Amino acid sequence: MPPTKQQVYTVQRTYDYPEPGLDAVKLVAALRQKYGPETKAIYPTDNGPYSSGDANITAMYWVYDEQGHFIASDKGASRPAEAPFDCEPMGEINNWGNMFNRSRLNTLAPSSVCDNLVVLSVSMGATMPAPYRRHTITEIEDHALLRRDVQIAGDAAKADAQKKQQQQFDKSKQAVPTL
């Protein structure tokens, strides 16, 4: 949305593997080989104790600052089954539109740690049947770019609304009542 140029702040790729799927341990090893050690791995809870081990990982996250420096750990900044720094994946939610409206209406929440990060995530779903994964969802999200773009567009919308309001006020002062 004007005044900024069109930008991409999230890209998602879903891939379904042919039966029986990929071996979970080999998938995790391949992801670590490609992206390096993860910032955080998520394990299923099934309302019980957390499972551990590479075969039980359901999601992996790699977090970077805006300059591309890897952030090795969220150091307890999020709950065990949540994304690092509680930076929930954007998914298909209209984050830009929702955040723009809040910015325009001066109700946008203060910036959080998340608003300064770039997050790469790979969701693998549950292992069914063990030890295979049938699909992956890979997503990269630039939370920092999204926040900046929303604020620029929100400020422009507020300035435009103020300009129109001033024009209406000036026009009303020029109106001459007819008797």
> Is 97 a residue whose pLDDT tops 70?
no
- Answer yes or no: are the C-beta atoms of 26 and 55 closer than 8 Å: no
* Structure confidence at residue 31 (pLDDT): 96
72 compared with 5, residue with greater pLDDT: 72
Crossing angle of helices 143-174 and 95-104, rounded to 10°: 40
Query: Rounded to two decimals, what is the model's pTM?
Result: 0.75
Q: How confident is the model at residue 147 (pLDDT cuts 50, 70, 90)?
A: confident
Angle 47-48-49 (CA atoms, 0-180°, nearest 5)? 135
